[in-house]
Amino acid sequence: MPSDPMTHSASTLIDTRGRPLRDLRVSVTDRCNFRCTYCMPKEVFGKDFQFLEREQLLSFGEIHRLVRIFRDHGVEKVRLTGGEPLVRRKLERLIEMLAYHEDLDLTLTTNGSLLRQKAADLKAAGLKRVTVSLDSLDNDTFTRMNDVDFPVSKVLEGIEEADRVGLRPVKINMVVKRGVNDDSVVEMARFFKGTGHIVRFIEFMDVGSTNGWQMEHVVPSRELVEKIRAEFPIEPVDANYRGEVAERWRYLDGSGEVGFISSVTQAFCKDCTRTRLSAEGQLFTCLFATRGTDLRALLRADASDEEISAAIAKVWSARADRYSEIRTAETAKLRKVEMSYIGG
Ligand code: SAM
Ligand code: SF4
Ligand code: SF4
Protein backbone atom coordinates (compact mmCIF):
# COMPACT_ATOMS: atom_id res chain seq x y z
CA MET A 1 0.00 0.00 0.00
CA PRO A 2 1.36 3.45 -0.83
CA SER A 3 1.82 5.65 2.25
CA ASP A 4 -0.60 8.55 2.59
CA PRO A 5 0.93 11.66 1.00
CA MET A 6 -0.67 13.92 3.60
CA THR A 7 0.20 12.05 6.80
CA HIS A 8 3.68 10.87 5.90
CA SER A 9 6.37 11.14 8.56
CA ALA A 10 9.91 9.98 7.92
CA SER A 11 12.74 8.82 10.12
CA THR A 12 16.23 10.23 9.60
CA LEU A 13 19.19 8.07 8.65
CA ILE A 14 22.61 9.43 9.56
CA ASP A 15 25.93 8.29 8.06
CA THR A 16 29.28 7.95 9.86
CA ARG A 17 30.00 11.66 9.33
CA GLY A 18 26.64 12.83 10.72
CA ARG A 19 25.05 13.50 7.31
CA PRO A 20 21.34 12.76 6.85
CA LEU A 21 19.93 11.11 3.72
CA ARG A 22 17.83 13.76 1.96
CA ASP A 23 18.27 13.61 -1.83
CA LEU A 24 17.91 10.77 -4.26
CA ARG A 25 19.03 10.97 -7.89
CA VAL A 26 17.43 8.34 -10.07
CA SER A 27 19.01 7.47 -13.39
CA VAL A 28 16.22 6.23 -15.66
CA THR A 29 18.49 5.27 -18.56
CA ASP A 30 22.20 5.02 -19.34
CA ARG A 31 21.53 6.08 -22.95
CA CYS A 32 21.80 9.56 -24.39
CA ASN A 33 21.34 11.28 -27.73
CA PHE A 34 24.37 13.55 -27.06
CA ARG A 35 28.02 12.60 -26.83
CA CYS A 36 29.32 15.43 -24.66
CA THR A 37 33.08 15.10 -24.78
CA TYR A 38 33.40 15.45 -20.98
CA CYS A 39 30.76 12.80 -20.25
CA MET A 40 30.24 10.22 -23.04
CA PRO A 41 33.15 10.65 -25.46
CA LYS A 42 32.34 9.16 -28.87
CA GLU A 43 35.49 7.06 -28.95
CA VAL A 44 34.23 5.12 -25.90
CA PHE A 45 30.45 5.37 -26.31
CA GLY A 46 30.45 4.39 -29.99
CA LYS A 47 28.13 2.12 -31.92
CA ASP A 48 29.60 -1.02 -30.32
CA PHE A 49 29.07 0.21 -26.78
CA GLN A 50 26.91 -2.16 -24.74
CA PHE A 51 24.14 -0.14 -23.10
CA LEU A 52 21.74 -1.77 -20.66
CA GLU A 53 19.01 -3.96 -22.15
CA ARG A 54 15.39 -3.11 -21.46
CA GLU A 55 14.85 -5.91 -18.94
CA GLN A 56 17.93 -4.80 -17.01
CA LEU A 57 16.39 -1.39 -16.34
CA LEU A 58 14.29 -0.90 -13.25
CA SER A 59 10.63 -0.72 -14.24
CA PHE A 60 8.62 2.36 -13.23
CA GLY A 61 6.88 0.22 -10.61
CA GLU A 62 10.24 -0.83 -9.15
CA ILE A 63 11.50 2.76 -9.09
CA HIS A 64 8.31 3.95 -7.41
CA ARG A 65 8.55 1.27 -4.76
CA LEU A 66 12.15 2.21 -3.97
CA VAL A 67 11.32 5.93 -3.84
CA ARG A 68 8.57 5.19 -1.34
CA ILE A 69 11.02 3.29 0.85
CA PHE A 70 13.66 6.03 0.51
CA ARG A 71 11.08 8.57 1.51
CA ASP A 72 10.47 6.70 4.74
CA HIS A 73 14.20 7.16 5.39
CA GLY A 74 13.93 10.95 5.07
CA VAL A 75 14.41 11.59 1.34
CA GLU A 76 12.64 14.86 0.47
CA LYS A 77 13.95 15.47 -3.01
CA VAL A 78 14.07 13.22 -6.07
CA ARG A 79 15.82 14.20 -9.28
CA LEU A 80 15.36 12.11 -12.42
CA THR A 81 18.47 11.98 -14.55
CA GLY A 82 20.58 9.68 -16.70
CA GLY A 83 21.93 9.45 -19.43
CA GLU A 84 19.25 11.57 -20.96
CA PRO A 85 16.04 10.97 -18.99
CA LEU A 86 13.74 12.22 -21.75
CA VAL A 87 14.82 9.40 -24.09
CA ARG A 88 13.16 6.90 -21.72
CA ARG A 89 9.75 6.12 -23.20
CA LYS A 90 6.65 7.34 -21.37
CA LEU A 91 8.64 9.00 -18.60
CA GLU A 92 5.50 11.02 -17.76
CA ARG A 93 4.02 7.78 -16.37
CA LEU A 94 6.80 7.54 -13.81
CA ILE A 95 6.41 11.21 -12.93
CA GLU A 96 2.69 10.72 -12.36
CA MET A 97 3.42 7.83 -10.02
CA LEU A 98 6.02 9.77 -8.03
CA ALA A 99 3.94 12.96 -7.94
CA TYR A 100 1.43 11.03 -5.82
CA HIS A 101 3.73 12.00 -2.93
CA GLU A 102 2.76 15.66 -2.83
CA ASP A 103 5.50 16.77 -0.45
CA LEU A 104 8.29 15.30 -2.59
CA ASP A 105 10.37 17.87 -4.45
CA LEU A 106 10.36 16.22 -7.88
CA THR A 107 12.75 17.56 -10.51
CA LEU A 108 14.62 16.47 -13.60
CA THR A 109 17.93 17.23 -15.33
CA THR A 110 17.95 17.18 -19.12
CA ASN A 111 20.08 18.22 -22.07
CA GLY A 112 16.96 20.03 -23.30
CA SER A 113 16.91 18.43 -26.75
CA LEU A 114 13.40 16.98 -26.33
CA LEU A 115 12.07 19.54 -23.89
CA ARG A 116 10.07 21.68 -26.28
CA GLN A 117 7.91 18.69 -27.23
CA LYS A 118 7.68 17.23 -23.71
CA ALA A 119 7.54 20.14 -21.25
CA ALA A 120 3.73 20.43 -21.13
CA ASP A 121 3.25 16.68 -20.53
CA LEU A 122 5.94 16.65 -17.85
CA LYS A 123 4.27 19.54 -16.05
CA ALA A 124 0.82 17.96 -16.35
CA ALA A 125 2.22 14.72 -14.90
CA GLY A 126 3.35 16.60 -11.78
CA LEU A 127 7.00 17.53 -12.37
CA LYS A 128 7.90 20.67 -10.38
CA ARG A 129 11.02 22.09 -12.05
CA VAL A 130 13.74 21.29 -14.59
CA THR A 131 17.46 21.84 -14.86
CA VAL A 132 18.72 22.17 -18.42
CA SER A 133 22.37 21.65 -19.35
CA LEU A 134 23.75 24.15 -21.83
CA ASP A 135 27.50 24.65 -22.17
CA SER A 136 27.64 27.65 -24.50
CA LEU A 137 25.44 30.03 -26.47
CA ASP A 138 27.96 29.97 -29.26
CA ASN A 139 26.74 27.34 -31.70
CA ASP A 140 30.19 26.19 -32.82
CA THR A 141 31.39 25.74 -29.27
CA PHE A 142 28.18 23.99 -28.22
CA THR A 143 28.11 21.55 -31.14
CA ARG A 144 31.80 20.76 -30.57
CA MET A 145 30.96 19.89 -26.97
CA ASN A 146 27.77 17.85 -27.55
CA ASP A 147 29.51 16.20 -30.53
CA VAL A 148 26.25 15.36 -32.34
CA ASP A 149 25.79 18.71 -34.05
CA PHE A 150 22.82 19.69 -31.87
CA PRO A 151 22.09 23.43 -32.17
CA VAL A 152 21.82 25.92 -29.30
CA SER A 153 18.55 27.30 -30.68
CA LYS A 154 16.63 24.06 -30.01
CA VAL A 155 17.79 23.94 -26.38
CA LEU A 156 16.71 27.56 -25.95
CA GLU A 157 13.26 26.68 -27.35
CA GLY A 158 13.05 23.91 -24.75
CA ILE A 159 13.95 26.31 -21.94
CA GLU A 160 11.33 28.80 -23.13
CA GLU A 161 8.66 26.14 -23.26
CA ALA A 162 9.56 24.83 -19.79
CA ASP A 163 9.20 28.37 -18.49
CA ARG A 164 5.91 28.89 -20.32
CA VAL A 165 4.29 25.78 -18.85
CA GLY A 166 5.47 26.69 -15.33
CA LEU A 167 8.48 24.39 -14.71
CA ARG A 168 10.05 27.39 -13.01
CA PRO A 169 12.59 28.65 -12.16
CA VAL A 170 14.60 26.87 -14.87
CA LYS A 171 18.17 26.19 -13.79
CA ILE A 172 20.79 26.15 -16.51
CA ASN A 173 23.89 24.00 -15.89
CA MET A 174 27.07 24.96 -17.70
CA VAL A 175 30.14 22.76 -17.28
CA VAL A 176 33.17 24.99 -17.76
CA LYS A 177 36.28 23.50 -19.34
CA ARG A 178 39.37 25.65 -19.76
CA GLY A 179 40.23 26.43 -23.35
CA VAL A 180 36.95 24.89 -24.55
CA ASN A 181 34.08 27.09 -23.37
CA ASP A 182 35.44 29.39 -20.64
CA ASP A 183 35.11 32.30 -23.08
CA SER A 184 31.31 31.69 -23.08
CA VAL A 185 30.82 32.38 -19.37
CA VAL A 186 30.10 36.12 -19.34
CA GLU A 187 27.80 35.85 -22.33
CA MET A 188 25.86 33.08 -20.60
CA ALA A 189 25.41 35.23 -17.49
CA ARG A 190 24.37 38.24 -19.59
CA PHE A 191 21.84 36.28 -21.67
CA PHE A 192 19.93 34.84 -18.73
CA LYS A 193 20.24 37.88 -16.42
CA GLY A 194 16.76 39.25 -15.75
CA THR A 195 14.92 36.20 -17.17
CA GLY A 196 14.22 34.50 -13.83
CA HIS A 197 16.34 31.50 -14.89
CA ILE A 198 19.39 30.65 -12.77
CA VAL A 199 22.68 29.79 -14.47
CA ARG A 200 25.00 27.53 -12.50
CA PHE A 201 28.62 27.25 -13.52
CA ILE A 202 30.05 23.79 -12.79
CA GLU A 203 33.71 22.92 -12.43
CA PHE A 204 34.72 20.13 -14.80
CA MET A 205 35.03 16.99 -12.65
CA ASP A 206 37.02 13.77 -12.80
CA VAL A 207 33.92 11.58 -12.84
CA GLY A 208 34.25 8.19 -14.52
CA SER A 209 37.50 7.28 -16.22
CA THR A 210 36.93 8.07 -19.88
CA ASN A 211 36.83 11.87 -20.11
CA GLY A 212 40.58 12.53 -19.93
CA TRP A 213 40.22 14.85 -16.92
CA GLN A 214 43.22 16.93 -15.92
CA MET A 215 43.44 19.65 -13.29
CA GLU A 216 44.55 22.15 -15.96
CA HIS A 217 41.08 21.83 -17.55
CA VAL A 218 39.34 23.04 -14.40
CA VAL A 219 38.48 26.72 -14.15
CA PRO A 220 38.15 27.46 -10.41
CA SER A 221 34.84 29.11 -9.51
CA ARG A 222 36.78 31.97 -7.84
CA GLU A 223 38.09 32.91 -11.25
CA LEU A 224 34.58 32.86 -12.74
CA VAL A 225 33.15 34.98 -9.94
CA GLU A 226 35.79 37.63 -10.67
CA LYS A 227 35.15 37.43 -14.41
CA ILE A 228 31.42 37.98 -13.96
CA ARG A 229 31.89 40.58 -11.22
CA ALA A 230 34.03 42.64 -13.60
CA GLU A 231 30.96 42.97 -15.85
CA PHE A 232 28.02 42.96 -13.43
CA PRO A 233 28.14 43.77 -9.68
CA ILE A 234 27.22 40.63 -7.69
CA GLU A 235 27.24 39.67 -4.00
CA PRO A 236 27.05 36.32 -2.18
CA VAL A 237 23.72 35.02 -0.83
CA ASP A 238 23.20 32.53 2.03
CA ALA A 239 22.44 28.91 1.13
CA ASN A 240 18.76 27.90 1.08
CA TYR A 241 19.36 24.68 3.03
CA ARG A 242 22.08 22.35 4.31
CA GLY A 243 23.55 20.40 1.42
CA GLU A 244 22.86 22.99 -1.28
CA VAL A 245 25.79 22.45 -3.62
CA ALA A 246 25.70 25.70 -5.55
CA GLU A 247 27.23 28.77 -3.96
CA ARG A 248 24.69 31.52 -4.71
CA TRP A 249 25.46 35.08 -5.83
CA ARG A 250 22.90 37.76 -6.74
CA TYR A 251 23.05 40.73 -9.07
CA LEU A 252 23.02 43.97 -7.06
CA ASP A 253 20.51 45.49 -9.48
CA GLY A 254 17.95 42.83 -8.47
CA SER A 255 17.94 41.05 -11.82
CA GLY A 256 18.38 37.55 -10.44
CA GLU A 257 21.16 35.23 -9.36
CA VAL A 258 23.84 32.83 -10.54
CA GLY A 259 25.39 29.77 -8.86
CA PHE A 260 28.81 28.17 -8.76
CA ILE A 261 29.31 24.45 -8.17
CA SER A 262 32.90 23.99 -7.09
CA SER A 263 33.26 20.33 -6.35
CA VAL A 264 36.95 20.40 -7.31
CA THR A 265 38.25 23.57 -5.66
CA GLN A 266 35.84 23.87 -2.68
CA ALA A 267 34.63 20.39 -1.78
CA PHE A 268 31.22 20.22 -0.11
CA CYS A 269 31.37 16.60 1.10
CA LYS A 270 30.73 17.54 4.73
CA ASP A 271 27.17 18.50 3.81
CA CYS A 272 26.56 15.90 1.11
CA THR A 273 23.14 14.35 1.69
CA ARG A 274 22.81 12.64 -1.70
CA THR A 275 22.54 9.13 -2.90
CA ARG A 276 22.22 7.77 -6.43
CA LEU A 277 20.29 4.93 -7.98
CA SER A 278 21.56 3.67 -11.34
CA ALA A 279 19.15 2.69 -14.10
CA GLU A 280 19.62 -0.98 -13.21
CA GLY A 281 19.08 -0.45 -9.51
CA GLN A 282 22.60 -0.16 -8.11
CA LEU A 283 22.76 2.19 -5.14
CA PHE A 284 25.79 4.53 -4.92
CA THR A 285 26.52 6.82 -2.00
CA CYS A 286 29.04 9.00 -3.87
CA LEU A 287 29.39 10.32 -7.40
CA PHE A 288 32.94 8.99 -7.40
CA ALA A 289 32.09 5.52 -6.14
CA THR A 290 33.73 2.45 -7.57
CA ARG A 291 31.10 0.02 -6.32
CA GLY A 292 27.34 0.02 -5.66
CA THR A 293 24.78 -2.11 -3.83
CA ASP A 294 22.36 -4.15 -5.91
CA LEU A 295 18.80 -3.20 -4.92
CA ARG A 296 17.33 -4.73 -8.07
CA ALA A 297 18.43 -8.18 -6.90
CA LEU A 298 16.39 -7.68 -3.73
CA LEU A 299 13.39 -6.36 -5.65
CA ARG A 300 13.42 -9.28 -8.04
CA ALA A 301 13.93 -11.85 -5.27
CA ASP A 302 10.62 -10.73 -3.76
CA ALA A 303 12.21 -9.08 -0.73
CA SER A 304 9.76 -7.30 1.56
CA ASP A 305 9.73 -3.52 2.02
CA GLU A 306 11.27 -4.04 5.45
CA GLU A 307 14.17 -6.04 4.00
CA ILE A 308 14.88 -3.45 1.31
CA SER A 309 14.56 -0.67 3.85
CA ALA A 310 17.06 -2.43 6.13
CA ALA A 311 19.51 -2.85 3.23
CA ILE A 312 19.36 0.89 2.46
CA ALA A 313 19.79 1.75 6.15
CA LYS A 314 22.84 -0.50 6.37
CA VAL A 315 24.50 1.16 3.36
CA TRP A 316 23.82 4.73 4.49
CA SER A 317 24.80 4.08 8.13
CA ALA A 318 28.19 2.78 6.97
CA ARG A 319 28.78 5.66 4.53
CA ALA A 320 32.06 7.55 4.94
CA ASP A 321 32.46 9.07 1.42
CA ARG A 322 34.36 12.32 0.99
CA TYR A 323 36.07 11.88 -2.35
CA SER A 324 36.27 15.56 -3.29
CA GLU A 325 37.96 16.42 0.00
CA ILE A 326 40.73 13.92 -0.61
CA ARG A 327 41.06 14.20 -4.40
CA THR A 328 44.60 14.00 -5.77
CA ALA A 329 46.07 13.45 -9.23
CA GLU A 330 46.29 9.77 -8.20
CA THR A 331 42.63 9.37 -7.13
CA ALA A 332 41.59 11.04 -10.38
CA LYS A 333 43.07 8.04 -12.21
CA LEU A 334 41.02 5.47 -10.24
CA ARG A 335 38.52 3.42 -12.24
CA LYS A 336 35.22 5.03 -11.25
CA VAL A 337 31.69 4.47 -12.44
CA GLU A 338 30.70 6.61 -15.46
CA MET A 339 28.41 9.58 -14.78
CA SER A 340 26.02 8.60 -17.59
CA TYR A 341 25.53 5.27 -15.76
CA ILE A 342 25.42 6.41 -12.15
CA GLY A 343 23.19 9.43 -12.85
CA GLY A 344 24.67 12.93 -12.96
N1 SAM B 1 21.70 14.23 -19.86
C2 SAM B 1 21.25 15.13 -18.85
C3 SAM B 1 22.00 16.43 -18.92
O4 SAM B 1 23.03 16.52 -19.59
O5 SAM B 1 21.53 17.37 -18.28
C6 SAM B 1 21.33 14.55 -17.46
C7 SAM B 1 22.53 13.71 -17.09
S8 SAM B 1 24.07 14.60 -17.07
C9 SAM B 1 25.21 13.32 -16.66
C10 SAM B 1 23.89 15.57 -15.59
C11 SAM B 1 24.79 16.76 -15.43
O12 SAM B 1 26.12 16.32 -15.26
C13 SAM B 1 24.81 17.69 -16.64
O14 SAM B 1 24.52 19.01 -16.22
C15 SAM B 1 26.23 17.57 -17.14
O16 SAM B 1 26.67 18.75 -17.74
C17 SAM B 1 26.98 17.23 -15.88
N18 SAM B 1 28.28 16.59 -16.13
C19 SAM B 1 28.52 15.52 -16.91
N20 SAM B 1 29.85 15.22 -16.91
C21 SAM B 1 30.44 16.12 -16.10
C22 SAM B 1 31.80 16.36 -15.69
N23 SAM B 1 32.80 15.60 -16.09
N24 SAM B 1 32.04 17.39 -14.85
C25 SAM B 1 31.03 18.18 -14.42
N26 SAM B 1 29.74 18.00 -14.76
C27 SAM B 1 29.45 17.00 -15.60
FE1 SF4 C 1 24.32 13.04 -22.36
FE2 SF4 C 1 24.02 14.63 -20.31
FE3 SF4 C 1 26.24 13.19 -20.54
FE4 SF4 C 1 25.83 15.17 -22.23
S5 SF4 C 1 26.09 15.35 -20.01
S6 SF4 C 1 26.49 13.10 -22.79
S7 SF4 C 1 23.66 15.15 -22.45
S8 SF4 C 1 24.22 12.39 -20.22
FE1 SF4 D 1 29.14 13.86 -2.06
FE2 SF4 D 1 30.98 12.18 -2.96
FE3 SF4 D 1 30.60 14.55 -4.15
FE4 SF4 D 1 31.73 14.43 -1.72
S5 SF4 D 1 32.57 13.62 -3.60
S6 SF4 D 1 30.12 15.85 -2.38
S7 SF4 D 1 30.60 12.70 -0.83
S8 SF4 D 1 29.12 12.87 -4.06
For the beta carbon of residue 103, count every other beta carbon within 10 angstroms: 10
Neighbouring-strand partners of residue 14: 20
Query: What is the residue-averaged pLDDT of the chain?
Result: 93
- Ligand 2 closest atom vs CA 82: 8
- pLDDT for 154 equals 98
Confidence band, pLDDT 50/70/90 cuts, at residue 6: very low
Provide the pLDDT for residue 340. 80
269 touches ligand 3 (CB under 6 Å): yes
What integer pLDDT is reported at residue 328 of this predicted model?
74
Weakest-pLDDT range from 77-81, 129-133, 170-174, 237-241: 237-241
Count of C-beta atoms within a 10 Å radius of residue 318 = 10
User: For the chain, which domains are there?
Assistant: 23-342 (3.20.20.70)
Q: Can you give the pLDDT at residue 151?
A: 98
Q: Is the CB of 202 under 6 A from ligand 1?
A: yes
- Bridge partners, residue 25, by sequence: 79, 276
What's the confidence (pLDDT) of residue 330?
72
Ligand located closest to 33 CA: 2
Distance, in Å, from the CA atom of 241 to the CA atom of 268, rounded to the nearest integer, reads: 13
Mutation probe of ligand 2 site: the residue of 30, 38, 39, 173 with most atoms within 8 A of C-beta: 39
Q: Quick one: which ligand is closest to 110's CA?
A: 1
Q: Does residue 113 contact residue 33 with C-beta atoms inside 8 Å?
A: yes
Give me the percent of the chain exceeding a pLDDT of 90.
81
Q: Across the chain, which distance is largest between two alpha carbons, in Å?
A: 59
Instruction: Output DSSP code: residue 33.
Output: S
Residue 207, pLDDT > 90, answer no
Is the confidence at residue 42, as pLDDT, over 90?
Answer: yes
Tell me which ligand sits closest to the C-alpha of residue 342: 1
Rounded to an integer, what distance in angstroms lies between the CA atom of residue 13 and that of residue 73? 6
Chain center to CA of 164: 22
What distance in angstroms lies between residue 303's CA and the mean position of ligand 2's atoms? 34
pLDDT in tens, 74-91: 999 999 999 999 999 999
